[in-house]
Amino acid sequence: MTGWEVGWEMAGRKTEKLLLALLLLLLLLYVPPALGEEWEDPALNPHAHFQNSGTCRRCHVYEKSVLKPDRFLPDADVFCLECHSVEGLGITHPLSIRPGDKPYSMTVPKDLRLDSQGRMLCLTCHNAHGPFFSPTRAFAAQEVANPGAPAGTKPVYRTYFARRSDPVRGFVLLCEECHGKR
């Protein structure tokens, strides 16, 4: 090996070490945003994919190529259950029932939407486009979602994408919309 080649090899090793040291320094200096500092951050929202306009057709009705954002397809639940059946969720309320039919005979408020055939679906009670975090508890015993946040960071709580909740009464508020107060 010539002196020139030895020099290049040594310089290469020094460069590699320098780049590795810089990378480690950058990793040590990186401070990820505290959960709740920016509670609309799509990177922290498991439903961020709903911001992609390509997913609209999975849940929403289109008429003559025009999106009807307040109307849902009968099989919109399939999209929800692709993830939530794994967690054991999606089984807390019957789906595909028509609240106005017997034996139910219930009236559902307009903002708790039904599918295009008048049946309940996940999106009746949950707003997939809603915020994942809120500064308000969804129920009384709820723990903060950002317990290790730096001092001065406001606490945030998961919303469960529920269309209604109350910091004291919890999700009962949502249930009472159709089932009435007990």
Give yes or no: residues 20 and 49 share one domain.
no
Instruction: Measure the CA–CA gap between 172 and 57, rounded to whole angstroms.
Output: 31
Number of domains in the chain: 2
Q: Residue 37: its pLDDT value, please?
A: 41
Report the first-to-last Cα separation within the chain, whole angstroms. Answer: 89
Give yes or no: residues 18 and 91 share one domain.
no
Instruction: Measure the CA–CA gap between 122 and 89, rounded to whole angstroms.
Output: 10
Give yes or no: residues 46 and 18 share one domain.
no
Query: Between 5 and 158, where is the model more confident?
Result: 158
Give yes or no: residues 23 and 43 share one domain.
no
Give yes or no: residues 95 and 122 share one domain.
yes
* Average pLDDT, integer, range 31-44: 48
Instruction: Measure the CA–CA gap between 19 and 161, rounded to whole angstroms.
Output: 44
Statement: residue 71 has pLDDT above 60: yes
Given the structure tokens 């909740």, which residue do they identify?
A: 165
Statement: residue 19 has pLDDT above 80: no
What confidence category does residue 60 fall into, taking pLDDT thresholds of 50, 70 and 90?
very high
Instruction: Provide the residue range defining the domain that includes 12.
Output: 1-30
Statement: residue 36 has pLDDT above 60: no
Give yes or no: residues 71 and 151 share one domain.
yes
Give yes or no: residues 103 and 168 share one domain.
yes
Angle of CA points 60, 178, 142, to nearest 5°: 85
Give yes or no: residues 77 and 18 share one domain.
no
Beta bridge mates, 66: 63
Give yes or no: residues 1 and 71 share one domain.
no
Query: Between 4 and 50, where is the model more confident?
Result: 50
Give yes or no: residues 126 and 46 share one domain.
yes
Q: How many CB atoms lie within 10 A of CB 24?
A: 10
Q: Residue 85: its pLDDT value, please?
A: 76
Give yes or no: residues 145 and 62 share one domain.
yes
